[in-house]
Amino acid sequence: MISNDDEVLAKVKGTCGIVYVFSDRVVISRKSITGFFGQGIKGDKTIYFKDIKVIE
């Protein structure tokens, strides 16, 4: 969830949505037309850095 109190450190726009980077998490937003057609109605995906165990 993105609120107005959060400071966005980085914002990367892709073909199917936008990735927002905060100090404690990453939010993947697919609220664009291409994101809807590519991924359907999934809403925002929030990944907290503390929950990441491995990166491949």
Length of the chain: 56
> Residue 4 pLDDT > 80, yes or no?
no
- Give the pLDDT of residue 15: 83
Beta-bridge partners for 27: 20, 46
Domain spans, the chain: 10-51
pLDDT in tens, 18-46: 999 999 999 988 875 554 455 555 678 89
Beta-bridge partners for 29: 18
- What element of type H or E holds 33? helix 33-39
pTM of the entire predicted model: 0.69
Instruction: Round to whole Å and give the CA distance between 46 and 29.
Output: 9
- Give the pLDDT of residue 16: 79
Instruction: Round to whole Å and give the CA distance between 28 and 45.
Output: 5
- Give the pLDDT of residue 35: 44
Which is more confidently placed, 51 or 38? 51
**DSSP E strands, 1-56:** 10-13, 18-21, 25-29, 45-48
